[in-house]
Amino acid sequence: MGYFSYVAVLAQVLPVRHPIPLLAVGVNMAVVGGLLLLAWAESLRGSPFFSVLRDWYPAPLMLLAYREMGWLAPAHHRHELEQAWVIWDRKLLNDWGLRAAIELFSPVLPALLELAYLLVYSTPLFSVFMLYVYRKRQRVDDFLTLFLLAILVPYSLFPYFPSEPPRKVFPGELFPSRETFFRRLNWELLEGQGIHTSVFPSAHVAGGFAAAFGMMRLLPEHPWVGRFLLVLAIMIAVAVVYGRYHYVVDALAGLASALAALGVFSLLRGGRAEASS
């Protein structure tokens, strides 16, 4: 609710085209209203249906939160940030040999990295589903608290770091030497669904690590889930730089966002535990 209210206000302040300011208020009031309505319906009826619906309602809102940041994209990018950031990419991929090391295992490893990048969209759904599978549904709220903190903070910062991905700003430079099916699929998806507001911090990396941290913390009885997601998160972090979707600094900032969300979550959960005791 805080995030969507923030975007509605931001749309009134930033120089965005008409009718985005009105659209942001209307859509986001409906989103907040839906959250309140579901909470009221559950409290009134005590129905498991509304309770389960509240678990899954944030899933489409995550995509909407991302798309709304696209509404706030600047008319023109000066690419000053990108020119500074790409220096570290050149060092990592060329000077320090990361690209060559990955392509020693071509085409398998490049394809797996692109697949990991594609799978990032499924990590919150997979995590909630596993909590259902292992009959730990009471922990869904905790997971969503951590995960949403990790991805919505990067989204909220996008307008302050106007930038575009390296594949757009530096076409052809540092690109993987081999095309794969998953790379083509990712590029097709981004052409239709990508936004042009910012790439800093990387919400892909933040979401991947937040899902891993969340399941390691909230489902310790089945450690394979958290470990699998941690491996996936590491692959996503490598993929965003290798595939030229993000800069190294974006990935590091995304990891920092996930760690900060874990810290805030730990404080909140500790406070609740003390209150209940």
Whole-structure pTM over 0.85, yes or no? yes
CA neighbor of 261 nearest in space, from 144, 182, 90: 144
Q: Which two tokens stand for residue 62?
A: 């995550």
Per-residue DSSP letters for 136-204? -GGGHHHHHHHHHHHHHHHHHHGGGS----HHHHSTTTT--SS--HHHHHHHHHHHHH--SS---S-HH
Asked if residue 35 lies in contact with residue 53, where contact means CB atoms within 8 angstroms, the answer is: no
Query: DSSP secondary-structure letter at 94?
Result: I
Dihedral of alpha carbons 176, 182, 187, 190, sign: negative
Backbone angles phi, psi at 16, to 5 degrees: -105, 160
| Contact assessment for residue 205 and residue 246, using Cβ atoms and an 8 Å cutoff | yes
- CA pair distance 147, 135, nearest whole angstrom: 20
Residue whose entry in the numeric block shows the structure tokens 């490598």: 238
Contact 72, 159 (CB under 8 A): yes
Q: Report pLDDT for 272.
A: 57
Instruction: Mention every residue, 6+ apart, whose C-beta is less than 8 A from residue 120.
Output: 204, 207, 208, 232, 236
Amino acid at 105: F
Q: In angstroms, rounded to a whole number, what is the distance separating the alpha carbons of residues 242 and 216? A: 27
179, 103, 227, 193 alpha-carbon torsion, rounded to 10° = -30
Tokens linked to 28: 């986001």
Tens digit of each residue's pLDDT, the chain (277 residues): 999 999 999 999 999 988 999 999 999 999 999 999 988 988 887 778 888 999 999 999 999 999 999 999 998 899 999 999 999 999 999 999 999 999 999 899 999 999 999 999 999 999 999 999 999 999 999 999 999 999 999 999 999 999 999 999 999 999 998 889 999 999 988 887 788 999 999 999 999 999 999 999 999 999 999 999 999 999 999 999 999 999 999 999 999 999 999 999 999 887 554 443 3
3-state helix, strand, coil in the chain (%, to 5): 80, 0, 20
